[in-house]
């Protein structure tokens, strides 16, 4: 049976816990990988959370899979991952994919605006 985007988001939000900016900062300080899954034009226009890796939603599987020639070694299954996008939808879906790929500790910060409003430092790209 085909899934709708609404159903996919509900499943993703059930699988990937939301965190506040303060919780994300604590996780990042403890070694978590923070990932911005917005498109490159979005990241270029506003910057990203300081220290975050920018990987567009469409490439997350390729960057996260150690067997992929595009693998980014910052992605490790034993390392917590915190994702964000513009509003929280793409980061939830990306988080669900990482969970499906065996990543044990994946969180959703929500939107970039939530990160900024919560006091996380940003940097240009």
CATH code that applies to domain 5-123: 3.40.250.10
pLDDT in tens, 25-56: 999 999 999 999 999 999 999 999 999 999 99
HSE-CB at 37 with a 13 A cutoff on CA atoms is 31
Give dist(CA 78, CA 59) in Å, integer.
20
Q: Is the pTM of this model over 0.85?
A: yes
Taking alpha carbons only, the member of 48, 62, 72 closest to residue 121 is 48
pLDDT in tens, 3-17: 999 999 999 999 999
The predicted-structure confidence for 87-104, as pLDDT tens digits, reads as follows 999 999 999 999 999 999
Task: State CA 53 to chain mean position distance.
Answer: 9
DSSP string, 28-88: HHTTPEEEE-S-HHHHHHH-EETT-EE--GGGHHHHH-TTSTT--TT--TTS-EEEEESSS
Q: Reduce the DSSP state of residue 120 to 3 states and report it.
A: coil
Mean pLDDT score across all residues of the chain:
97
| Ranges of each domain in the chain | 5-123
The per-residue pLDDT for 1 is 81
């Amino acid at each position: 049976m085909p899934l709708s985007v609404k159903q996919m988001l509900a499943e993703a939000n059930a699988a990937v816990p939301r965190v506040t900016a303060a919780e994300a900062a604590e996780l990042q300080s403890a070694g978590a990988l923070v990932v911005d899954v917005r498109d490159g034009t979005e990241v270029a226009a506003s910057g990203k959370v300081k220290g975050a890796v920018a990987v567009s939603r469409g490439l997350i599987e390729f960057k996260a899979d150690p067997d992929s020639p595009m693998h980014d070694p910052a992605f490790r299954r034993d390392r917590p991952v915190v994702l964000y996008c513009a509003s929280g939808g793409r980061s939830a879906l990306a988080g669900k994919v990482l969970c499906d790929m065996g990543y044990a500790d994946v969180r959703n910060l929500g939107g970039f605006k939530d990160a900024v409003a919560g006091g996380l430092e940003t940097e240009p790209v």
